[in-house]
Amino acid sequence: MYNRIGALAKLAEASSDSAKGELKKTLKKIDKGLRQSITDLQRIVSPKEIPDDDVEEDLFKKICNNHQKLFNQKIKYMNSSQKPIDLDKRFSNYRWDLECILQECLNNAGKHSGAKNIDVKLAIKNDTLTLSVKDDGKGLKTTELKDISPEHLGFKGIAERVKKLNGGINISSNGGTRIEVKISC
């Protein structure tokens, strides 16, 4: 996939060299967007940033801290459970997907919401894991996944991962956006 996107970026770059006026500007924007997409995908897909031996709570804190540095948004992370959550013990098959869901929720808030503050909550209660990400940004025009524009690939990816885990997702948009994911143990 990276190679395909990279090839498209090179094509846009090469085409922009011979183009003129508005077309040249548009092709340069496409090139820049494709290159940024590669960077974003590498950051989302590459697990090497975060060691595998971390307790999930620490892992989620690291993801939040990295996001704060990238997007200059304040994140408040909270574990609503009574003790630290080690998902490797109960959710080892879900760990990667949960990391990607959190990362994509944060990416959406960072790129599209205009938010200054984000609350991330993780909890396990009655054999159900809940991950909630709420921002104070501009919110969404719709909270129905089926109605969210196809160019919002992040939401599509979140929904696909949640479905794969036989979980549920709830999106609300009132004074920002809140995405809540629930997965049964």
Among 110, 146, 136, 130, smallest CA distance to 180 is for 130
Sheet holding 178-184, edge to edge: 74-79, 117-125, 128-135, 178-184, 168-172
- Confidence category of residue 118, pLDDT binned at 50, 70, 90: very high
pLDDT of residue 184 exceeding 90, the answer is no
In the chain, what are the domain boundaries?
2-45, 54-184
Angle at the Cα of 184 from the Cα atoms of 148 and 76, rounded to 5 degrees: 65
Report helix, strand and coil shares of the chain as percent, to nearest 5: 55, 20, 30
Give 94-116 pLDDT, tens digit per residue: 777 888 899 999 988 888 889 99
Give the CA dihedral 99, 105, 111, 117, nearest 10 degrees: -110
Give 27-74 pLDDT, tens digit per residue: 777 877 777 776 677 666 655 444 444 445 577 888 898 889 888 999
pLDDT of residue 75 exceeding 90, the answer is yes
Q: What is the CATH topology of the domain spanning 54-184?
A: Heat Shock Protein 90 (3.30.565)
